[in-house]
Structure 1
Amino acid sequence: MEHIPEEDRAVEAASKSLLETDSAEKRVLGILWNVSSDTIGVQVQDMRKPATRRGILSATSSLFDPLGFVAPVLMAPKILLQQLCQLDLGWDDPIPQHLEQKWIEWTQALHHLQDFKIRRCYKPPGFKAITSCQAHYFADASETGYGAVAYLRMTDIEGKTHCSFLAGKARVTPLKTVTIPRLELTAATVAVRLDAQLKRELEVAVDSTTFWTDSSTVLRYIKNRTSRFHTYVANRVQVIQQHSDPGQWRFVDGKSNPADEASRGVSVEKFLHRSRWTSAPEFLWKKEEHWPVDLNLPVQLDQNDAEVKRPAIVSVTSTSEKNPTDRLLLQYSSWYRLKRAVAFFLRLRRLLKAKAERALSALQTRTAAHDGSRSSASSTSANEKKPNKKGTAARADQPTTPALLSVEEIDDAETAVISYVQSQSYKEEISRLRGMQNVKCSSPISRLDPVLDQNVLRVGGRLGRSTQAFESKHPAIMPAKSHVTDLDLLTPNHLLLLRAGPRLPPGAFSDSDNYTRRRWRQVQHLATEFWRRWSQEYLQTLQHRQKWTKEERNLQVGDVGYHRRQERS
C-alpha cells in the first residue's frame, strides 16, 4: 500500500490493511495474487482424474494460465493428448501403460508448481527513471511444438538493466506432418501477433522492438523480397512483413533461446530451478555489445529451396493461321446460316470441278486432233474461237444453276459439317472403324457402340431393329465441346427432355414417377404435366369468347322475351 498515493487510497484502506485479512493470497481472474509480496502464482487444483483422454483434458484445462507463465510445463500433457489422438483412442478408453506412467509422474510433480511466483510489477523497487524501454520476442519450434515468449527490457538513468516477463505462447504441432522450417516460420508468426496484442495493452511506451529466432532459414525468408513462395510460407511471410520490419529480426543460438522450452516442454522441477522462461536469457541483461552477433545471410534464396516457387517454363509453339474451314465454322452463330454458307461453298466446288473436267476433256480432244493432222487442228481451233468471241457457244454446254438452294444441297452441307467436326475430334475412332476394327474401350464414345455411315459417326446398338426413323435410331455423335455443337437450335424438345435427342417412348406416367430412379420416366411425367397445364390454364386464355363476356342477371318471371321462328320455304 505504501506505493499507492494517499489521495488515491480508499477510505476503508486507511483504517484496515490488506495484510490484516485472513489470507494474503487473492484470486484475480483465476490466478493467485499475493498481496504482501505483490507476486502472482498459479492455482493447482485436484488432479485426481481417470487416466483417459477425457480425464487428461479435464485436468489440463483446469490450470488457468492466460499469460503463459507456466506454458512450458503444460506442454507435457498437451503432447500426451496428441499422442492419444494419433492412437485413435476413445474418450473413455484406457490409455497404454507407458503413457499412463508419464501422466502419473506429471500429476505427482504438479503440486510443486504452487511454489512458482513472479513479480506483478514490471518495474522493480528502487528502479530509477526509465531511459530506454525495449520489447524482445523469442520464437522457436521443434517436432513436438512451437511457441514464443516476450520480455520487457528497461534501463534507468543509472544504467541499471532489468528484464520482465510479459507473456508466452506454447502450442503443439499439427497432426499432419509439417517441416521444421515451416514450424519455425509459424512460431515467428506467433511472435509477431503477440507483439501486436501486447502493444495494444501495454501502458508503457516501447522505444524499440526486436525479434529473435534460431532459424537462419526464417531470417532469409523474411528478408527476401523477390522470390515467390508456396501458399503456406507466403501467407506467413506476408503477416510477418506487415507487422514487423525485416531489420528487427536477429539470430540467436538455440542454447540461448528461451522459447526452446515452449517448443519441447520441461518438467516442473526444471522449470522452478533452471528455467530461463520467466527470467529472460543472460545476454539480455547485459549491454548490447555483448548480444549475439547477427548473421550476414545472403538475401537471394537458392532456387532449389523446397518452399520457393520455381518459374514455370512455358513452351510456345508458333502455329500457322487457322484452318480455313475452322474459320468458316466460327464465323456463324446460327446453325441454319452455317448450313446455307457451306452449301454455297459445296456448290461452288462442284461447279469449279465440273469446269475443270470440261477443260481437261477439251484439252484431250485438241491434243488428239493435233496428233492426227496439224491443218485439221488449225481449222478446228479457228472455228472454236469464233463462238467464244460472242460468248454463246462456250456456255451452251454448261448446266444452268438455280439461284436458290435445294433441300438436297442443304442436307449435303449438314452432313459435310458433321463429318468434318467428327474428323477433328474422333480421328482414331474413325480410322479403326474404317479398318473394320472395334473402337477402344478407353474411347469416350465406346459405350455408344459407334458405327460409320457415309463418313458420319452414328450411335449403334439394338435400336437399329426398331421401326423408328433412321435419324432417331442412329443420331450423329458430336463432341461436347465444339462450336458447331453449341449452334444446336433451342426447341421445345430441349425444354421438355432437358437435353437434345430423340423422343422417349410414350406411356402412362403418374406422380409416383417423380420418386423413381429411372430418369426418363421422371422427364416424361414432367412433360405430360406441362402439356396438361398448358392446355387447361394457358391455351384457353388465347381463345376470344364471342358471348357472355359480361356479367348479367338470370331470366326471371315477368321478363319480356323475343322469340324468332324460322319459316320454312
Structure 2
Amino acid sequence: MVRVNRFVYTSSKNKCEIHEFSDASSRAYGCCIYARVLDNGKYVTSLIISRSSIPRLELCASVLLCQTWTKIKHKLNCLVSKTYFWTDSTVVLHWIKMHPSTLKCFIANRVSTIQTQSQDIIWSHVPGKDNPADIVSRGCAARDLMQTIWFHGPRFLALDALHWPKSERKTDFEPKELELRNTLVLKCSTSYKEKSIVEQIISRLSSFRMIVRVLAYVLRVFNRVPVNRNNTINATRSISVEEFKLAFDHIISYIQSDVFAKELKDLHAGRSLKTELEKLNPFISNEQIGSQNIRLIHVGGRLAMADILLDAKMPLLLPKTHNFTYKYIEDPHLRNLHARAKVLIAILRLTVWIVNARELVRKVVRGCTHCYLYKPVLML
C-alpha cells in the first residue's frame, strides 16, 4: 500500500515556493508541482499535483505544466512568494526566450501559450536524474514509488538556493533542432518607376474599346484640340475615327517600345535580329497622324503586291505576353458572334500579328463563359 501525505506545511506565516517540473519521453509527457516550505529550520517539499498525457515533445510537457499551474494558482497565490518552472530540455528553455514569430507553426503556438501563462515565473534547467516528472513520462511500478523522489521532489530543494542546479545556457543548436520558420527577405529599392498613363489605363479597364476611348479623351486634352462651339454635347462626347486610330497606335507603340525595346534598337540601327522575330521580316514605320509622329513595328512578307487592305499586308506586331493583347482578342471574339480559334486568328491578322497567337487565342475562347456554356459548333 502507498500512503500519500496531503499536508504541505503551508500557512499564512510560512510563505512557500512553488517548484514545477516537466518531462517527456517517446511514451508520454507530464508535469508535477511541489511546494517548498521552511519549517522549523528545515526545508520540506511536498507534492501538490501532477498530470500526464500521451506523447508529443518536451515542449508539450511545458505547455501542460503551464496549464496545470493556471488551474490551481488562484488557491495558492496568497501563500506563494516565488514560482519556479523546471525542465530538463535546453531546447525548450531556448524556445521560451525566443519570439514565436521566428518559429514554425506548431512550436510557435505552444511557445506563445507558455510565454502568456508563465509571466513573472523563473524558468530553470534541471538534470534528468533530478527531474521527478521523469517518473510520469517513463512510468514506475507502485511498489518502487516510495523509493523515488516523486512525493517530495528532488533532494536539492531541501538545500539552500546556492546549491541548486545551475541553468545551462546552450546556444549552439542545429537549425533543425530549433525548427525556425523560413524567413522571407524583401529587397527595397529607391528607384521606383511610376506607371505611365497608358499602362494605368490598360490595367484599370477590362474592355479593349473602353481603353482606346479613354486614351483618346486623354490625348484630346493633352493635345489641346480646339472644340467647335457649334457642336452639340453629344457631338463633343463622341470620338472620331482619326482620334480612335491615334489612340490605338499610341497603345501599340507603347507596348512595342516596352516589350521589343532591343529589337527596336537593332532595326533602327539596321542590324539583323537574333530572335524568332527575324523570320517575320519586321520593319519600322513612322506614321504621321495629324501633328503626331508615331513609330511602329510592322510585319513584312510576300503580300506587298496583294490586292488587300494595307493593314492586312503589313500588320502591326503585338506580343502575346502583354495584358492588352488578351483584351484586344476578346473584342473581335465577341463582335464576330463568339468566333472559334481558327476564325478568330484569321480576323486578327487583318490588323495585327500576335507572336505565337494560337495558344493565346485558344485561352481566350476557353475563358469565354458563353462559349463554355453553349459550346457553339461551326456551321459549314
Instruction: Please give the range of the TM-score, normalised by the shorter of the 2 chains.
Output: 0.5 to 0.7
In 2, Cα distance between the equivalents of 1:275 and 1:423?
Answer: 75
Q: Unpaired runs of 5+ in structure 1?
A: 1-114, 175-182, 360-407, 428-447, 461-473, 486-498, 507-569
> Is 1:330 matched with 2:203?
yes
In 2, Cα distance between the equivalents of 1:449 and 1:355?
Answer: 33
Name the residue aligned to 1:307: 179
Change beyond 3 A, Cα 1:155–1:270? same
Shift of 1:276: 1.9
Shift of 1:145: 1.3
Shift of 1:459: 9.1
In 1, Cα distance between the equivalents of 2:101 and 2:363?
Answer: 53
Name the residue aligned to 1:353: 287
Partner SS, residue 50 of structure 2: strand
Residue identity in the other structure for 1:132: K
1:143 to 15, 18, 26: 26
Is the 8 Å Cα contact of residues 422 and 478 (structure 1) preserved in structure 2? no
Is the 8 Å Cα contact of residues 23 and 88 (structure 2) preserved in structure 1? yes
In 2, Cα distance between the equivalents of 1:336 and 1:155?
Answer: 89
1:165 to 44, 47, 59: 47
Partner SS, residue 151 of structure 1: strand
Shift of 1:198: 1.2
Is the 8 Å Cα contact of residues 130 and 155 (structure 1) preserved in structure 2? no
Name the residue aligned to 1:250: 124
In 2, Cα distance between the equivalents of 1:323 and 1:251?
Answer: 62
Name the residue aligned to 1:501: 371
In 1, Cα distance between the equivalents of 2:59 and 2:363?
Answer: 59
Shift of 1:347: 4.3
Name the residue aligned to 1:284: 157
Partner SS, residue 52 of structure 2: strand
Is the 8 Å Cα contact of residues 203 and 323 (structure 2) preserved in structure 1? no
1:118-147 superposed Cα distances (whole Å, 9 cap, x missing partner): 123323xxx998433111100111122111
Is the 8 Å Cα contact of residues 2 and 142 (structure 2) preserved in structure 1? no
2:103 to 214, 222, 229: 229
TM-score relative to the length of structure 2: 0.57
Partner SS, residue 208 of structure 1: strand
In the TM superposition, 1:471-510 aligns within 5 A as 477=364, 499-501=369-371, 504=374
In the TM superposition, 1:169-318 aligns within 5 A as 169-173=51-55, 183-202=57-76, 205-225=79-99, 228-245=102-119, 248-271=122-145, 273-297=146-170, 306-314=178-186
In 1, Cα distance between the equivalents of 2:324 and 2:79?
Answer: 75
Partner SS, residue 371 of structure 2: coil
> Is 1:116 matched with 2:2?
yes
In 2, Cα distance between the equivalents of 1:186 and 1:116?
Answer: 29
Is the 8 Å Cα contact of residues 11 and 79 (structure 2) preserved in structure 1? no
Name the residue aligned to 2:268: none
Higher normalized contact order (CA 8 Å, seq sep 6+, divided by chain length): 2
In 2, Cα distance between the equivalents of 1:355 and 1:154?
Answer: 98
More strand by percentage: 2
In the TM superposition, 1:41-60 aligns within 5 A as none
Change beyond 3 A, Cα 1:215–1:336? same
Name the residue aligned to 1:557: none
In the TM superposition, 1:35-46 aligns within 5 A as none
Residue identity in the other structure for 1:142: S
Over the aligned positions, Cα root-mean-square deviation in angstroms equals: 4.5
Change beyond 3 A, Cα 1:140–1:459? closer
In 1, Cα distance between the equivalents of 2:65 and 2:79?
Answer: 19
In 1, Cα distance between the equivalents of 2:83 and 2:246?
Answer: 84
Shift of 1:311: 3.1
Change beyond 3 A, Cα 1:187–1:334? same
In 1, Cα distance between the equivalents of 2:287 and 2:321?
Answer: 24
Residue identity in the other structure for 2:53: R
In 1, Cα distance between the equivalents of 2:59 and 2:117?
Answer: 14
Change beyond 3 A, Cα 1:476–1:146? closer
Partner SS, residue 195 of structure 1: helix
Shift of 1:166: 0.9
In 2, Cα distance between the equivalents of 1:502 and 1:196?
Answer: 60
> Is 1:152 matched with 2:35?
yes
In 1, Cα distance between the equivalents of 2:289 and 2:208?
Answer: 30
Residue identity in the other structure for 1:289: L
Partner SS, residue 308 of structure 1: coil
Partner SS, residue 148 of structure 1: strand
Change beyond 3 A, Cα 1:263–1:330? same
Shift of 1:160: 2.6
1:161-193 superposed Cα distances (whole Å, 9 cap, x missing partner): 22221111111215xxxxxxxx11111111111
1:424 to 305, 322, 330: 322
Change beyond 3 A, Cα 1:198–1:476? closer
Name the residue aligned to 2:265: none
Change beyond 3 A, Cα 1:128–1:319? closer
Name the residue aligned to 1:534: none
In 2, Cα distance between the equivalents of 1:305 and 1:279?
Answer: 33
Residue identity in the other structure for 1:155: L
In 2, Cα distance between the equivalents of 1:266 and 1:244?
Answer: 29
> Is 1:131 matched with 2:14?
yes
Shift of 1:287: 2.5
In 2, Cα distance between the equivalents of 1:141 and 1:186?
Answer: 8
In 1, Cα distance between the equivalents of 2:134 and 2:170?
Answer: 22
In 2, Cα distance between the equivalents of 1:223 and 1:333?
Answer: 52
Q: Unpaired runs of 5+ in structure 2?
A: 217-240, 251-284, 294-308, 326-340
Change beyond 3 A, Cα 1:426–1:147? farther
